[in-house]
Amino acid sequence: MFIKFKEVIIITCMSVIKELSRVLPKGIVLTGEENTRPFECDGLSVYRQKPLAVVLPENIDQIKQVLKICKAHKTPVVTRGAGTGLAGGAMPLSESIVLGLSKLRQVKHIDVENQLAIVEPGVRNISISEAVASHGLYYAPDPSSQIACSIGGNVAENSGGVHCLKYGLTVHNVEAVKILTIDGEELILSRKDKGLGLLALMNGSEGLLGVIVEITVKLTKTPDLARVVMAGFDSVRHCADSVSDIIKAGIIPAGLEMMDSFAIEAAEGFAQVGYPLDAQALLLCELDGTEAEVQAELDIVLKVLSGASSIKVSNSEQERLDLWKGRKSAFPAVGRLSPDYYCMDGTIPRRHLADMLEKINELSQKYQLRVANVFHAGDGNLHPLILYDANIEGELEKTEEFGTEILKLSVDMGGTITGEHGVGIEKLDAMCHQFNSKELEIFHKIKAAFDPEALLNPGKAVPELHRCAELGAMHVHHGQLPHPELERF
């Protein structure tokens, strides 16, 4: 009897769910529209897709069982952390299993002497610092979403934060990871291993190469003192130039953040921490270390910033936290001013910060869309927030075109299309602008070496070569599965 291809898919899907439900404890496997709807997107909520099922394992053995069953049925697996990603990296496919790691949230071991902690992937970023605070230690990378995002997701996206200039991105603060391959094999990738550098490869791999089940992170000694200098400027260029001037003066601040006037207004309206509303641009510069070190660096920074229109220095720990509160609240603050906003993420050389802001302003006028700019200025990581209304026909498409132009400009200025948010589904087209076909072939070969049947988060991060070749004629259907290679079945 002839069975149509679609019917084969339905039978396969039912078999996968039945087998998962049989081998896993009750409550681990979630099915049905109501139960799976919360997992249909990550922080890039404009794209949504309900998965076949969601599995929330409680230990590594259960994860191995999930991978074994999914491989046997050739069912894609989309690993998910806290769902705070902003590039669609955790968006499921319709016939995929979402493997949620939120229940693996143990801080397994703290090594105070060697300043290390071994944690499970579901541990929230800020929970690591909370767990080691009594030892005078903390975990340095601090994304704005640190109260919610998980360390496993941080590794998958190579997240940064306001303190990454001095203390590095996630890749610089991870000593080892334990992963499961699609075959269920355990691999430990360590900084101590010489040769291929697979640990660095796993940071930013976006769930394409393996399932991260344990992370050993480097802890940092809590500084004796930290102070923030807040400087307001009458021009964006003066503020941007001051970023380079601080670095040229031999200072590597713990944090060096820049906001334009729109972002200042939004953040102050939300956090009410005393940002100068008459400034065209704002610079937050944090210095930390011993009291003597901080004072010496502060003297230099204040001299460099002497031309600013306003300067304020934090005089207490609470004041320091308040000044950062405005910056870390920038995303939700902007969200209060518009029905929707689109958060971009690119990186450029510091010397081009002012040029990029001018270009973004020109594009804002071209597309008639407002933009609030929030930058990790010290390392040139851009986060333009484009405001739009998805209820207005064509405005989402216009917003995405705007964002793509920013990413292409980032590459043309000597930068890259992402600094910490990853590629996911959002930046597949922009990948074609940054990398040539031979480079993309290498990416695909790496993927195939770990996952020959492309079952781990397929269709994300690395575009198919035909996509880049046909990009000009390709139609993107907004609001649904936007990329042909995601339509696996």
Same domain, 242 and 318: yes
Round to the nearest angstrom and report the end-to-end CA distance of the chain. 22
Same domain, 154 and 37: no
Same domain, 229 and 323: yes
Same domain, 131 and 213: yes
* Position 484 confidence tier, pLDDT thresholds 50, 70, 90: very low
The torsion angles phi and psi of 105, rounded to 5 degrees, stand at -130, 35
- Residue 9's pLDDT is 54
Same domain, 252 and 236: yes
Same domain, 210 and 240: no
| Beta strand 225-233 pairing with 174-180 | unpaired
In a domain, 257, yes or no: yes
Which CATH number is 75's domain given? 3.30.43.10
**Cβ proximity of 58 and 28 under 8 Å:** yes
The residue out of 48, 82, 100 marking a domain boundary is 100
Rounded average pLDDT over 52-63: 98
Rounded average pLDDT over 62-80: 98
- Residue 12's pLDDT is 63
> What is 149-186 written as a DSSP string?
-BHHHHHHHT---TTHHHH--GGGSEEEEEEE-TT--E
Which CATH number is 402's domain given? 3.30.70.2740
Backbone Cα Rg of the chain = 23
- Coarse DSSP helix, strand, coil percentages of the chain, rounded to the nearest 5 percent: 40, 20, 40
In a domain, 404, yes or no: yes
Q: Is the pLDDT of residue 472 over 70?
A: no
Same domain, 178 and 192: yes
Per-residue pLDDT tens over the stretch 87-137: 999 999 999 999 999 999 999 999 999 999 999 999 999 999 999 999 999
Same domain, 135 and 30: no
Calpha distance 141→430 (Å, rounded): 26
In a domain, 14, yes or no: yes
- Residue 474's pLDDT is 41
Provide CB contacts within 8 A for 37, sequence distance 6+.
50
Rounded average pLDDT over 250-272: 96
Which CATH number is 275's domain given? 3.30.70.2190
Q: Is the pLDDT of residue 477 over 80?
A: no
| Beta strand 107-111 pairing with 77-80 | unpaired
Provide CB contacts within 8 A for 489, sequence distance 6+.
9, 94, 95
Tokens read off for 154 = 């941080």
Same domain, 177 and 193: yes
In a domain, 488, yes or no: no
Number of separate domains in the chain = 4
Calpha distance 218→137 (Å, rounded): 10
Tokens read off for 13 = 């899907």
Distances (CA, A) of 108 to 132, 313, 484: 12, 39, 41
In a domain, 376, yes or no: yes
Tokens read off for 429 = 């087209």
In a domain, 477, yes or no: no
Same domain, 355 and 453: yes
Closest Cα partner for 165 from 54, 65, 283?
Answer: 283
> What is 48-111 written as a DSSP string?
----SEEE--SSHHHHHHHHHHHHHTT--EEEESSS--SSSTTPPPTT-EEEE-TT---EEEEE
In a domain, 484, yes or no: no
Q: Compute the mean pLDDT over every residue in the chain, rounded to the nearest whole number.
A: 93
* Position 404 confidence tier, pLDDT thresholds 50, 70, 90: very high
Per-residue pLDDT tens over the stretch 213-249: 999 999 999 999 999 999 999 999 999 999 999 999 9
Same domain, 350 and 446: yes
The residue out of 100, 118, 146 marking a domain boundary is 100
Q: What is the residue range of 201's domain?
A: 107-221
In a domain, 114, yes or no: yes
Same domain, 260 and 307: yes
The residue out of 188, 206, 221 marking a domain boundary is 221
In this prediction the pTM is: 0.92
User: CA dihedral defined by 39, 43, 48, 53, rounded to 10 degrees?
Assistant: -20
